[in-house]
Amino acid sequence: MAGFNIPHVILQPLQQDVGYKTDQIVPVFIFHKTPLALAVLETSPFKTLKDLIDHAKKNPYLVSVGGSGAYTGYHMATLRFEKMIGTKLTYVPYTGAAPQMTSFLGGHITAVFGASDDLTRYRDKIRVLGFATEKRFPGFPDVPTLKEQGFDMVEGVDRGIAVPPNTPASVIKTLESAFMDIAKRPDFQEEQRKGGFIPLAMGHEEVKEYMKKMTELYTELAQGLKK
Amino acid sequence: MRSQRKCDLAAGVFIALLGAVVILAASQIRGDVEERLPPRTLPYAVGFMTLAGGLGLAVKAYRFHGEDPRIQWPETDGWVRIGVNLLLLALFTAIMDPLGMPITTGLYVAGAIWYMDRKRVVAALLAGAGSALVVYYLFIRLLELTFPLGPLGRLGETVLFSWDLLLAGFADALTWTNLLWALVGCLVGTLIGVLPGIGPSAGIAILLPITTMIPPTSGIIMMAAIYYGAMYGGSTTAIVVNIPGEASSVPTCIDGYEMAKQGRAGAALGISAISSFVAGTLGLVGLTFFAPLLANVALAFGPPEYFALMFMGLSLVISLSGRALLKGMIATSIGLLASLIGQNPLTGAARLTFGVVDLMAGINFISIIIGLFAVSEVMINVEKAAAHIYGTKFHGWMPTWAEIRRCAGAMVRSSGIGFFLGLLPGCAPAVTTFIAYDVEKRVSKHFERFGKGAIEGVAAPEGANNATSSGGFVPLFAFGLPTGPALAVLLGGLMSTGFSRARCSSRRTRSSSGRSSPACISGTLSSWC
Amino acid sequence: MYIGNVILLVLNLPLVGFWARIALIPFPILGPLIILCSVIGAYSIRFMLFDVWVALLFGVVGYLLRKLHFPVAPLVLASVLSQMLETSLQQSLLISQGSWLIFFNRPIAGFFMALAIASIARGIWLQVRSHAPEVAIDDADE
């Protein structure tokens, strides 16, 4: 049994030989979703999204955007954004969200595509330029979505639990109902919201459907991004 | 081959070949992320380094015409002993899965002891049975580590002895004493630390369920006691039997074990405890007064600084190899090679795995350390048919006052180094202990005593070890950022008792001047409890 | 936690005698027990038998290295550090757009690099200068 996240497990096998294929992961449950957003430090000279984009256009490659890992949601977001604004950025991968945020807070990279939970935690130190969601994120009501600013992009990381491919169905059922009980509790959901997550409670079958949809979506996106 | 020169030549050639193989394998790596990040770079670099080192050694040995020291290869019976022991060990590993851990343990221990000394049949049988029981009851039942059970798996819950009832009994009887929980925590923690491979983080994770059975404050104290106990247990085995409890105990092995061989294990253990204590105190002082200032320093460390730090650590260690610089470089490249196998941490591309799935996860450095130190030490003793590990009589339970005074400088220096490096997120404790040891070696007027049982060589890593944990609390309290897995687990434990990291970080931002913020004070107060 | 620190000192000092006695156990008994601990330890990292085989392999490697007078400490540190080393290297080069100067332009990084270069240089200097056996012999350990 292991934690997993989408789109990580979809994208990585697509792009290179990582030793597993997406359909080997049997999902049991998804706990929450964390939409991504582009943010800079509060002390940064870029006050709006437009400032950042203009700067990037004048200095291709100079703007560094942090994210955790390669071919993860963060990387994807950066690549898509790059394409939309028509300029190259530099994606700097880190080994996790914590190093990414520490480096960002220390001013070593210009901007991050951060997950909503990290951004919520450091909200006093950062300025969020745009959220990659359909509607405005409840935790940051005055931040416009990227869509509003002309960039139609929705990106997020969903996290949950998965089991290896040959797990018997009875085990999956047990696990699923256990997690469902926890996830449906209102106090648990409240905790999640406070932390900046969007609580979800997707069971085994639902997640499989969702993953199928996402795989199609990402395969298309990945094709579109190949140079 | 008795001659060092010839052996060096052979070794050099072998290593050069190894380097060539690596370079070839590196060219097979696919998958580039960006133009600037080709995942082949480091494997190529290490491959070349190995190749160059090997060639250099071979050439040097070939051209050498001087006094040729002898290598002490074992006699025939020594080889036989080593061979049989290795075979037994391999058998042990192979049978472990089907037959289950307890049974195989019993068989191996009994068999190995009987082989080593035909007369000790009774001892062999007792030890075999004893270890099988310990493995079963302690590790499988109490700690619930998933060792293979083999046929015993069918026994199920019908055991003679149930820990749950016993612990519940303790919980009821002892809820009135926090100190007692700290004691229990320390004992258990030390036991965990004694085992290589189960470090403080695993220890806390394993024992977390037990701590939930007792009141929260006691729980926090117990967790802290486990943490400290585990770190100390690691040094105990490092000194006494040359098995480092975890990576950070490795420098302790170097001088600590030498001291033990000279009969001064007591002194080594004593100075280890004293040094840890001093470092812990200094660390807490630093935490209380300097935390806000230092937290900003932690942020100033970005990727270039980390690289420079690691590079410095590595070059320090190599340059302290005395006159064996080339060999030090080769050793470094072997170490680098071993950790390159597996996935690239950033891109996830598979490297040097030759298509073997097991290698995808990479080689864990703890296995390397266990093998290098524990197993090879046993082999060396086996070859010599040693009756006891220590040749000399045991004398001196504690370090003398003179020795303690001598180590004072080491203790302070290592505390400083440990504390400072500990507050960098992601800096492994192993690094700090090595750097502290090396700095001490450089600073010392008696450079050559290190490695032969210099007591400062034990005080330094131990102090740094403890100070690193204190330093690790700085970003934890200031930003809610754990610097390593052990602290992350500790944080999880703390959070389950209601300690809020968001509260900490939000209060932190209100004091942008260097004054201690309320959160830091409350954080450190709870650490003084 | 400080109480934990104090308790550690108080508790462990008397225990020193007990721990040290372990070494007095005759080696034929102690040896297999140590190996047992090593196997348990190696296995308990990731609960994979593979790790135990690796430990066994490096036991042999370690034995050979010590016989041939190789220093073992750099190997250990290298295997611990390498992941961080590579990660930071890649990240730094990305940030600096491929320029290696980034390690020297910044004060803290530059300081450490200077120390590193100084210690390597000193090591090489000592090697070249000493007319001692040119065959690399390690006199620090064994």
DSSP assignment of C76-125 equals HHHHHHHHHHHHHHHHHHHHTTT-TTHHHHSHHHHHHHHHHHHHHHHHHH
Same-domain check for residues B521 and B421: yes
Q: Are residues A188 and A210 in the same domain?
A: yes
How many interface pairs between A and C have CB atoms less than 8 angstroms apart? 19
Q: Is the pLDDT of residue B217 over 60?
A: yes
Pair B324, B202 in one domain: no
Chains that touch A (3 or more CB pairs under 8 A): B, C
Closest CA to B178 of B145, B222, B138, B208: B222
Q: Is residue A60 part of a domain?
A: yes
Q: Is residue C50 part of a domain?
A: yes
- Whether residues A99 and A172 fall in one domain: no
Contact B346 A69 (CB under 8 A): yes
Residue with tokens 């117990």: B222
Residue A181 has, within 13 A of its CA and on its CB side, a CA count of: 5
Please report which confidence band the pLDDT of residue B367 belongs to, taking 50, 70 and 90 as the band edges.
confident
- pLDDT score, position A226: 62
- In this structure, is residue A78 part of a structural domain? yes
Please tell me the distance in Å from B230's CA to the nearest CA on chain A.
Answer: 25
Reading the block at residue A26, the tokens are 């049997």
- Residue A123 resides in a domain: yes
**Residue A113 shares a structural domain with residue A188:** no
Who wins on pLDDT, A133 or C129? Answer: A133
Helix or strand run (H / E) with residue B89: helix B76-99
Q: What percent of chain C has pLDDT over 70?
A: 73
What is the per-residue DSSP string for chain A?
Answer: -EEEEETHHHHHHHHS--S--GGG-EEEEEEEEEEEEEEEETTSS--SHHHHHHHHHHSTTTSEEEEESSSSHHHHHHHHHHHHHTS--EEEEESSHHHHHHHHHTTSSSEEEEEHHHHHHTTTTEEEEEE-SSS--TTSTTSPBTTTTT-----EEEEEEEE-TT--HHHHHHHHHHHHHHHH-HHHHHHHHHHT-EEEEE-HHHHHHHHHHHHHHHHHHHHHH--
Q: Is residue A149 part of a domain?
A: no
- Supply the pLDDT for residue B493: 58
Q: What is the mean pLDDT of residues B176-192?
A: 65
* Residue C53: closest C-alpha in chain B: B93
Residue A172 belongs to what domain range? Answer: 2-33+157-225
The pTM assigned to this predicted structure is 0.76
Residue A41 shares a structural domain with residue A126: yes
Q: Are residues A75 and A100 in the same domain?
A: yes
Residue B373 in this model has a pLDDT that exceeds 50: yes
Question: pLDDT: is B356 or C62 the higher one?
Answer: C62
The answer to whether A48 and A129 have CB atoms below 8 angstroms apart is: yes
Q: Where in the sequence is the domain holding C42, given as residue range(s)?
A: 2-67
Co-location of A78 and A162 in the same domain: no
- Does some domain include residue B517? yes
The CA distance from A45 to A42, in Å, is: 8
Q: What is the pLDDT of residues B232-243, one digit of tens each?
A: 777 877 887 777
pLDDT of B518 higher than 60: no
Is pLDDT of B508 > 50?
Answer: no
Instruction: Give mean pLDDT, residues B77-84.
Output: 83
Q: Contact, A41 vs A48, CB < 8 A? A: no
Distance CA B359, CA B343 (A): 9
Residue B18 lies in a domain: yes
Closest-CA residue of C relative to B225 is C4
What is the spatial distance between Cα B246 and Cα C45, in angstroms, rounded to a whole number? 11
- A90 interaction partners in chain C (CB closer than 8 Å): 94-95, 97
Domain count, chain A: 2
Residues of C with CB below 8 A from B366's CB?
Answer: 41-42, 45, 51
pLDDT of B505 over the 60 cut: no
Mean pLDDT over each residue of chain B, to the nearest integer: 72
Last residue of a domain, one of A96, A131, A166: A131
**Number of domains, chain B:** 3
A166 assigned to some structural domain:
yes
Query: Residue B33's pLDDT band (boundaries 50, 70, 90)?
Result: very low
Q: Are residue B363 and residue B399 in the same domain, yes or no?
A: no
Pair (A191, A170) in one structural domain: yes
Residue A178 forms part of a structural domain: yes
B245 shares its domain with B333: no
Same domain, B310 and B202: yes
CB atoms within 10 A of CB C128: 9
Residue with tokens 């049989």: B84
Q: Do B347 and A121 touch (CB under 8 A)?
A: no
- Interface probe with B: pick from A103, A104, A125, most Cβ of B within 10 Å: A103
Domain at A67, CATH number: 3.40.190.10
Q: Which of A6-15, A96-105, B7-16, B493-502 has the highest mean pLDDT?
A: B7-16
C-alpha torsion sign, points B143, B145, B150, B153? positive
**Displacement of CA B373 from its chain's centroid (Å):** 11
Q: Both B188 and B283 in a single domain? A: yes
Alpha-carbon distance C129 to B378, whole Å? 38
Query: Do C105 and C62 belong together in one domain?
Result: no
Asked whether residue C89 is assigned to any structural domain, the reply reads no
* Same domain for B313 and B434: yes
In a domain, A150, yes or no: no
Point out the least confidently predicted range of A149-158, B62-71, B324-333.
Answer: B62-71
Residues B199, B298 within the same domain: yes
CB contact under 8 A, C91 and A94: yes
| Residues B302, A69: C-beta atoms closer than 8 Å | no
- Confidence label for B516 from pLDDT (cuts 50, 70 and 90): very low
Indicate if B16 and B103 belong to the same structural domain.
no
Q: Which domain holds residue B37?
A: 4-72+320-367
Q: How many domains does chain C have?
A: 2
- Whether residue A67 lies inside any domain: the answer is yes
Residues A190 and A165 in one domain: yes
DSSP-derived 3-state class of residue B256: helix
**Do residue B408 and residue B292 come from a single domain?**
yes
Residues A95 and A78 in one domain: yes
Q: Which has more pLDDT, B446 or B437?
A: B437
Same domain, B519 and B449: yes
* pLDDT for B164 beyond 50: yes
CATH of the domain at A197: 3.40.190.150
